[in-house]
Amino acid sequence: MDKRMEEKGSRPVQLVKALWGCTLLFCIPGLFLTFVAPSAVIELTRVGEERVDVTVVRKVLFVVPISERRIEGLLAPKSQVIDGGVIREGRRSTGKIVGEAEDEGVLVLEGLGGESLDVHISPKSLDDTQDEIQYFLTEGNEPSMRLWVVSNWKFGLILPGGILVFCLAIFLAASWSIITGKPLARRDTSP
């Protein structure tokens, strides 16, 4: 048996180790980022002529559900944008302005029973999402509609998406090296 195989294990074991390593190294930061700014799936379901129920599932890493809430008898949605304001250095009211915090969008979904649910949505997507839900409630005739929204495009989609793509690239490169038996980089042995 090849000495390298004895040290590192069989190819399937090496592939599992590579997958585990990539998961730990790359997916855990993506998990934390998307936990801070999770995406959500808003599913509207028509129940009879007069009632629409809504289910909101918050997800991390785009696919892992972390919470689910359901409201029966959805009323017209409301929205608000919370101004992020300026970030000052030192004293709050008199310090030098060093940046500006991002605005935050909130879609408020209320049911006939008085329960309500706040869904944090990027302010850029807030009006379109509210319009789509309102159209489904008043004029639509589809039995259901599903919307995917994110609370912050940078921290909820672009950054974790980039991390996951980079993780996949590293895993594929390591898998290629394991399967073909060729190292990823040549070692220069010249003096």
Condensed to tens digits (0 to 9), the pLDDT of residues 20-43 reads: 777 777 667 766 666 667 788 999
Write down the domain spans for the chain.
1-37+152-180
Q: Which two tokens stand for residue 70?
A: 């359901």
* Of 98 and 142, the one with more pLDDT: 142
**SS3 of 168, please?**
helix
N-terminal to C-terminal alpha carbon distance within the chain: 31
Res 5: pLDDT: 46
Contact 121, 102 (CB under 8 A): no
190: Cα within 13 Å, side-chain hemisphere: 2
Q: How far apart are CA 43 and CA 117, in angstroms?
A: 13
Condensed to tens digits (0 to 9), the pLDDT of residues 157-191 reads: 666 677 777 777 877 887 887 788 777 666 656 55
pTM recorded for the entire structure: 0.67
